[in-house]
Amino acid sequence: MKVVVNFDLCESNAVCMGIAPEVFEVRDDDFLYVLQEEPAEELRGKVEEAARRCPKQAITVED
Amino acid sequence: MPPIVVVGASLAGLSAVDAVRSGGHDGDVVVLEAAAALPSDRPPLSKQVLAGTMEPSAAHQPLAGRLDELAVDLRLGLRVDHVDVAGLRLDLSDGSSLSASGLVVATGASPRTLPGPPLAGVHVVRTLDDSLALRRDLDAGPDRVAVIGAGFIGAEVAATCRGLGLEVTLIEAAPAPMVRVLPEAVGAFVADLHRAHGVDVRLGVGVEGLVADGDRVRGVALADGTTVDASVVVVGIGVAPDVAWLEGSGVPVGNGVTCDETCLAAPGVVAAGDVAEWFNPHFGERMRVEQWEHAIEHGAAAGRRLLAGDGPGEPFGSVPWFWSDQYDRKLQLAGRPAATDEVHVLEGSLEEQRFVAAFRRGERCTGVLGVNRPRHVVQARMRLTESLDWAPIEELLS
């Protein structure tokens, strides 16, 4: 599983961080950082939920 | 077995479909939508689409591209005229009938309007067509835009119009903007933000009526006797849940569809999104939430409840969250404060327009607002999801 963020769309709403803080972090500079681009399989549920609930639909999960 | 029938093809309804499919339902799912096209995603309608920075076709709902995969039988342009809840039977506007094995009520809400005949130049912003029609009137270069109501929609439309270089008057009957979702002291910040960007903000003054020139609006008459001259008027005075079709159905209706803590309104009937009021066990109070992310979560919970059938179902406890972009500020609120809750600015300051404020009622934290502080808000929301106790929030944010 590979996490891809479209940073042209991302608005740093940080919803993803609330769901999968292991993978997504919005820092004090207001930018989103992807902590693990290829997270372990057990995080798939959280990552997919983060993608679903992203207000900008900026996250895709590639197999 | 008859299909699961979802009424309303917006966020909550489609999220319920997603949940019943994820939950293993492989029977038929019919989605009925009164509009002639799949509703668009709504947040960009008062911002990017209105500003012209996003193609209208790009404003699609998250699940719009997955309808085939979800095996949805989507029927557009159809209204439900009557429902018999005991038999789960629906009479549709084309004269046909439909039996359901389960019903998801997700008809959302419609904008409130002002009394009087329709006038050219007067707009609401709820659908993609609304947003594009307003944009056409803005393109004509009006001398002034009057925005009635400083809630989310009004405040965002005012900001977008200023971004287009238009003169704007923002009129609010309450003493501060966004009073339905924010304590007054924070609402005052929103008023200052708009004034700093050149908006003529009028607070605490009601609207007497629209002033017309033939069939076209030319201003807004205020209760203080003054008139705001404006050839474009945007009405953002809230929405009313779409429940008229449920009259006499047996589905309980009050402030929207009345649901229990599991999203159940009647046996086999769930409701979610703007239309649904439910008992939120996390806050211990009934609420109806008109927010984007809530519609997704609530729809999913309602879908899961339907699959639980005659079982007790899971309570749906939630800490609601929204964001609103105005100028270069991003407001985010987690929780559900009341207008009278204490306001504690725990990080930054209102003066620098970058802060975190927490709202307190007794020993409880009822919500956290961040302005350009997304990390703080999301972390506070995680904490609030565990507990609404004040002390841990104060510790986290101080």
Q: Which chain A residues touch B374 with a CB distance below 8 Å?
A: 12-14, 17, 26, 30
CA B89/CA B95 separation, integer angstroms: 13
- Does the distance separating the beta carbons of A21 and B382 come in below 8 Å? yes
| Residue spans per domain, chain A | 2-62
pTM, whole model, 2 decimals?
A: 0.95
- Does the distance separating the beta carbons of B330 and A15 come in below 8 Å? no
Taking alpha carbons only, the member of B231, B8, B38 closest to residue B123 is: B231
Q: Is the ipTM of this complex over 0.85?
A: yes
**According to the model, what pLDDT value does residue A63 have?**
83
What values do phi and psi take at B105, rounded to 5? -90, 115
Is the pLDDT at B190 greater than 90? The verdict is yes
Share of chain B above pLDDT 70, in %: 100
Q: How many CB pairs under 8 A join A and B?
A: 45
The answer to whether the beta carbons of residues B69 and B47 sit under 8 Å apart is no
- Does the distance separating the beta carbons of A55 and B378 come in below 8 Å? no
| Residue spans per domain, chain B | 4-110+240-307, 113-237, 328-397
Instruction: Look up the CATH number of domain B113-237.
Output: 3.50.50.60
Taking alpha carbons only, the member of A20, A13, A56, A24 closest to residue B370 is: A13
Distance from CA of B59 to the nearest CA of A (A): 10
Is B65 in a helix, a strand, or coil? helix
Q: Which chain B residues touch A29 with a CB distance below 8 Å?
A: none
B293 closest CB neighbour out of A11, A15, A28: A15
Return the CA Rg of chain B: 22
Report the DSSP beta bridge partners of residue A60.
Answer: A4
H helices of B105-255, where? Answer: 128-139, 152-163, 184-196
* Residue B185 binned pLDDT confidence (cut-offs 50, 70, 90): confident
CATH class of B4-110+240-307: alpha beta
User: Over the stretch B113-160, which tens digit does the pLDDT of each residue have?
Assistant: 999 999 999 999 999 999 999 999 999 999 999 999 999 999 999 999
**According to the model, what pLDDT value does residue A30 have?**
87
The answer to whether the beta carbons of residues B155 and B324 sit under 8 Å apart is yes
CA B49/CA B138 separation, integer angstroms: 12
The answer to whether the beta carbons of residues B347 and B356 sit under 8 Å apart is yes
User: Over the stretch A6-54, which tens digit does the pLDDT of each residue have?
Assistant: 999 999 999 999 999 999 999 988 899 999 999 999 999 999 999 999 9
Report the DSSP beta bridge partners of residue B360.
Answer: B342, B365
- Does the distance separating the beta carbons of A15 and B375 come in below 8 Å? no
The answer to whether the beta carbons of residues B230 and B145 sit under 8 Å apart is yes
Is the pLDDT at B213 greater than 90? The verdict is yes
Return the CA Rg of chain A: 10
> Which chain B residue lies closest to A11 (C-alpha atoms)?
B330
Tokens read off for B267: 């046996």
Instruction: Look up the CATH number of domain B328-397.
Output: 3.30.390.30
User: Over the stretch B72-95, which tens digit does the pLDDT of each residue have?
Assistant: 999 999 999 999 999 999 999 999
Is-same-fold flag (B4-110+240-307; B113-237)? yes
Three-state SS sequence of B185-228 = HHHHHHHHHHHHCCCEEEECCCEEEEEEECCEEEEEEECCCCEE
Mutation for A interface: B70, B378, B383, most A CBs within 10 A: B378
Answer whether B296 touches A (CB < 8 Å): yes
Tokens read off for B62: 């998250």
Write down the architecture of domain A2-62 according to CATH.
Answer: 2-Layer Sandwich (3.30)
Share of chain B above pLDDT 90, in %: 97
* Residue B184 binned pLDDT confidence (cut-offs 50, 70, 90): confident
Q: Which chain A residues touch B375 with a CB distance below 8 Å?
A: 14, 17, 25-28, 30
pLDDT average, residue stretch B62-71:
95
User: Over the stretch B258-289, which tens digit does the pLDDT of each residue have?
Assistant: 999 999 999 999 999 999 999 999 999 999 99
CA B315/CA B88 separation, integer angstroms: 23
